[in-house]
Copies of this chain bind each other. A is one copy, B any other.
């Protein structure tokens, strides 16, 4: 919860730019306070920062025209999907024009034979899956929120089933990108692999809108599994749950998802979703494949779990049961938010080599308890409810830190808890964020993680956006 940069003097947008964008987009260019306010928020705990105006282009050409005009006037631009960022990516901390891509929501092309689809950047993952419903194919990536695919590419998102299907890094084949100059490029082709030149696709995936505006993308889609089965298993401790998952991965069992939720998270979900799950360290598993393969996988995992004290293996084989389970899981953010009224959630994530996951989680649990004790001592009546959950097949886990932003003790302790979490992950050979991105929230950790490689990132930023107008202050501190 570093505060957004306020060390810049906000100047009103130049009149000629306002005129030009109104002429270009008509009603689809807005400076109304309500629209600006809506675009100055996301799901992070950062204070809102509204842009000066919002553009709603409907084509790559319109995006290019907006970018060209803003560039001429030296005005910052912030790409915006549906605003589900957890790290402040869409906050207009230097003012400027937000480019809302939600009207670019056409599924342009589906190639069932090639297992790929081309969409505009504003298409959400659920919208794509609705379009694919009759093809026997689906887009598996699932970060929880119904984010746009453009936003997911920009933040290198992944989610619960990356362990089986990969992240956006592996699932984007090609992009259409508007550069800082307003020039439009196409990166990649529909070929499944290529050794032709620098990997521009992967450079823009995860660049968080700071190197270009993604307007279209070609993604991999996957055959719907013939059989699908989900299970819930409770463990004596988080360590036992993690040990089960490590062994499963090492044996090469191709699990589709495995989500760890600690007892506190289960409690929060029970209250939020009116469930009565036993409040213990719990893993949600999902298995995809042929019926025989799924049966084999489930038997393997059942056996491994039993060795680690896993109990109460409950199977959900009907779609309704599975949906209920995963909906509860996806409500974890809101469940955490609902733990105390009028609070914000600092949602942080790290990812470590899986051999270190149990240690990292255990040390973090100790740290959370100590932090909470310190807060109560410093500020009687305060709390700091924390939920822990993760896509542990990848070594990725999240803390949801419920913070009363009006209480400076809680804010300070939440920040330092997050800092220690990241330092712990880095010391274990991990990364400061597995899937949320740097945004504004993890700027200070970039150098700790990458050392002098951050200079290379700065060089790339300067080369591709010399005026620093694309989403300034995200990934790298604005100059």
On A, residues with C-beta under 8 Å from B are 111-116, 155-158, 162, 166-167, 169-170, 179, 183-187, 189-200, 202-203, 205-207, 211, 222-223, 225-226, 246, 249-252, 254, 290, 292-293, 296, 351-355, 394-396, 425-426, 429-438, 442, 445-446, 449-457, 459-460, 462-464, 475
Max chain B Cβ within 10 angstroms of own Cβ: one of A111, A353, A436: A353
**A249 to chain B: which residues have CB within 8 Å?**
115
Contact A193 B459 (CB under 8 A): no
**A192 to chain B: which residues have CB within 8 Å?**
351, 353-354, 394-396
Contact B191 A353 (CB under 8 A): yes
Residue of B nearest to A192 (CB): B394
Min CB distance A169 to B, Å, is: 7
**A205 to chain B: which residues have CB within 8 Å?**
199
Contact A250 B113 (CB under 8 A): yes
Closest 5 CB pairs of A and B: A202-B202, A113-B355, A463-B463, A223-B252, A194-B431
- A442 vs B197: C-alpha distance when bound (angstroms): 10
- A75 vs B306: C-alpha distance when bound (angstroms): 63
Contact B463 A111 (CB under 8 A): no
Contact B202 A434 (CB under 8 A): no
- A147 vs B77: C-alpha distance when bound (angstroms): 45
**A457 to chain B: which residues have CB within 8 Å?**
197-198, 200
Max chain B Cβ within 10 angstroms of own Cβ: one of A432, A442, A456: A456
Contact A191 B464 (CB under 8 A): no
- A352 vs B111: C-alpha distance when bound (angstroms): 13
- A120 vs B234: C-alpha distance when bound (angstroms): 42
In the complex, 16 of the A-B residue pairs with CB atoms within 8 angstroms, ordered by the A residue number, are: A156-B199, A158-B193, A162-B193, A167-B193, A185-B450, A191-B396, A191-B431, A192-B354, A192-B396, A195-B206, A195-B436, A196-B445, A196-B449, A197-B206, A199-B202, A200-B456
